[in-house]
Amino acid sequence: MKNVKLFLLISGFLLLVGVWLSLPDGKTRLIFCDVGQGDGVLLSQGTFQMLYDVGPDNGKMRKCLERYVPFWDRKIEIVILSHWDNDHVGGLEDIGKSYRMEKVFSGVKPEGEFEQKIYAEILRQKDVLRSDWFKFEVVWPERSNGVGQEEMDSNEMSLVGMLEVSGKKILLMGDTPAEVEQKLVWRKILRGKADVLKVGHHGSNTSTSEELLEEVRPKVGVIGVGRNSFGHPTKEVLDRLGKFGVEVKRTDEDGDVVMVL
């Protein structure tokens, strides 16, 4: 009986220690999760969580949430999906088994297997999500269903957003190709520099043009990438980032890239 009581006492103590250690520390963190070949970004402060993409269907995004979200917090307040390619949204169902996703947004309507399962509010250029400590402004896709949009592929319609937190600007590019980047530059939509660039399309040479880098001049470029047969990130993109003095972080080499803002 004494052994049982001692075991229960120790178990209770360890539980209390675990709860205490999991309490939010008040810091704001931006985590580019290591989800393999894909993108998954977590913005976390206290009991508020926002996701930008959720990676492929391999369980890695859920594990990233388990590492950085208190175990008793089972709500994701905002989920933004850049587009509906599997390497950006495949983890939705797995995350949905453990977390309640309060609001889901995208730049285009759900496609494929998600068409009947997910309701996503549509965001367009100049739409803004904000609180008293962050702002997320959509810079692409354009607001109107202009001529040619219906002919764009999923990458071209990626939702691009400028996230502002603690005086820092983070440009999240989805899989947008250079043609879209150039439109954003030529039309003066980006309006200024970014401290961090989520490098477009995992470092594909079809994205991260010199025009974009010249315009936003990021200090850090983060590439969401894993083992792949596409050659991501390409030497051309790495060279361009180097030319502009951008510090490169890669999830395949660095694991989760964590920034305290």
CATH number at residue 52: 3.60.15.10
The residue ranking higher by pLDDT, 31 or 151, is 31
- The reported pTM is 0.89
First to last CA, the chain: 51
244/25 Cα distance (integer angstroms): 35
Boundaries of domain holding 140: 24-260
**Residue 36 within any structural domain of the chain:** yes
Query: Which amino acid is present at 102?
Result: E
Whether residue 242 has pLDDT greater than 70: yes
Model confidence pLDDT, tens digit, residues 165-185: 999 999 999 999 999 999 999
Q: Which residues contact 253 (CB under 8 A, 6 or more apart)?
A: none
10 domain residue, yes or no: no
Say how many domains are in the chain. 1
Confidence of residue 232 (pLDDT cuts 50, 70, 90): very high
Cα of 62 vs its chain's centroid, Å? 13
Residue 200 lies in a domain: yes
Per the domain annotation, does 6 fall within a domain? no
Q: Is residue 13 part of a domain?
A: no
17 in a structural domain: no
Examine residue 194 and state whether it is found in any structural domain, yes or no.
Answer: yes
Residue 99 maps to a domain: yes
Burial code (b: 16+ CB inside 10 Å, e: under 16) for 56-69 equals: bbbebbbebbeeeb
